[in-house]
Structure 1
């Protein structure tokens, strides 16, 4: 067995473990198999809600835990149930949206509903940044609040993601946590909830500590996870804010960047 200091490997999905076509390369799958053979655990830590992660976890053969919804959900893939979840108060979400729109004009919103079968609802004008993910279009914004939600997704017709996120952080305050998790993806989630809070809960459940963890990511929403883990590895395609706090920068998600590092740590063929 190849010995390594890490017994927990935490990976983001989009832009990190997944290639642009939503697949995982054979090389990455083989590297993750070596992680499992060494007795270490692989945890997916993603902004995607549990229902949008389930098919990917099936493809990876994951039957354990996954951190979903930017840390708002700890999902047990084998049992298809949430071990833990926290929702974003819908009145606070509406208030936060109003404050943002007072600054930047109209934004387009979507929500991820809570639960293992929660839907992604999108209001008129909102374009899904990831067209492969299923969504249900509603007729007006008020319909977004019909069921408990884990987060709100925002897009602006003119502002960049960085500009929208910066303005949202400035005006939202303690109403919600603002994250940027990918191109066209600025999000509001429950205050204080991050990938790190969800990962910490999952790790505690597994009896693992931050000192045993290595994390991989590509966007600013991965920064808390990098601060939590002993080592943070950014992809070559990562946002500059994440690269600035990374311990290492590997190759891109298209070039098996995760596998390169895992083969070094856990051995490879």
Structure 2
């Protein structure tokens, strides 16, 4: 793993590599999970916030990469206090939203790239197998259109109950399928049984399934960002914990799984850090962007 852009930089490890891009998952990486739910606490631990800001202050491009919709991600940027004009005047963050289907700059919200697809057939197949599932489609900048209400805290913004046929009447960037009565394992089997054409799926920690266009993932979104920055995958440090992080961790020059990540994620990672409850993202970032005290040691 080498990066000409950081030649001569040593980090804590002294191996000559230091990331120019820091790609961060949100839920389960920056934000701790609410025990027993599919939602996360909307607060960033001080150690994690400080570590992210050190990376930013050192000149790294901090990119938030999540399955969340754009409006669910900008508030996390605000929690991090980024961008910060005192550290980098005129800077705007890159954000990879909706599992790579939507890419934006912030602030203000400026969508620079979006992938859409026709989800009607896929949703129909799912409803034939599981008629009671919850379905959601993002209403950018507002919230979601849903066929029924999701468990509290799992979606952000305003919710507009809408018939399913209207939800997918036009091309969309992402469809969420949820069944609070099912398990993640059951949804993995559901995804495998669909035989979808032109559509990808990823299952979350719970019975939560995201549908996106084939070839669209956090990795494809980050690749778009790197092209704009004239950087390579080898320049990227990516940290995540979920199935929707697998492509990103495989693609990045250094992919790190959180300590609580499922085995499928750990298997593709270059390394494993501490759990989100133990501020694992901060521990990994400290390897490359240490505190003044760590440098002295």
State the Cα deviation string for residues 37-71 of structure 1 (Å, max 9, x = none): 32211111011111221222122213321100100
Larger CA deviation: 141-150 vs 225-234: 141-150
Would you say the 8 A contact 1:211–1:229 is kept in 2?
yes
Unaligned stretches of 5+ residues in structure 2? 1-8, 12-16, 34-40, 84-91
In structure 1, the partner of 2:93 is 64
* 1:173-192 pair list within 5 angstroms: 173-192=196-215
Would you say the 8 A contact 1:122–1:135 is kept in 2?
no
- Name the count of aligned residue pairs: 263
Question: Structure 2 length as normaliser, TM-score?
Answer: 0.81
Larger CA deviation: 132-141 vs 79-88: 132-141
* 1:186-265 pair list within 5 angstroms: 186-265=209-288
Does residue 48 (structure 1) correspond to residue 76 (structure 2)? The answer is no
Distance in 1 (CA, whole Å) between partners of 2:162 and 2:108 is 35
Which structure's CA Rg is the greater one?
2
Does residue 15 (structure 1) correspond to residue 28 (structure 2)? The answer is yes
Would you say the 8 A contact 1:99–1:172 is kept in 2?
no
Does residue 109 (structure 1) correspond to residue 146 (structure 2)? The answer is no
Larger CA deviation: 56-65 vs 216-225: 56-65
Distance 1:84 1:132, change over 3 A: closer
In structure 1, the partner of 2:107 is 78
State the Cα deviation string for residues 115-158 of structure 1 (Å, max 9, x = none): 4x25312212x424734623414153233236653211112354
Unaligned stretches of 5+ residues in structure 1? none
State the Cα deviation string for residues 60-96 of structure 1 (Å, max 9, x = none): 213321100100011100242101011232xxx1211
Would you say the 8 A contact 1:14–1:22 is kept in 2?
no
Shift of 1:33: 2.0
Shift of 1:240: 2.0
Distance 1:218 1:48, change over 3 A: same
Shift of 1:262: 1.0
After TM superposition, the runs of 4+ consecutive aligned structure 1 residues lying more than 6 A away are: none
Distance in 2 (CA, whole Å) between partners of 1:98 and 1:147 is 14
Distance in 1 (CA, whole Å) between partners of 2:162 and 2:106 is 33
Question: Structure 1 length as normaliser, TM-score?
Answer: 0.89
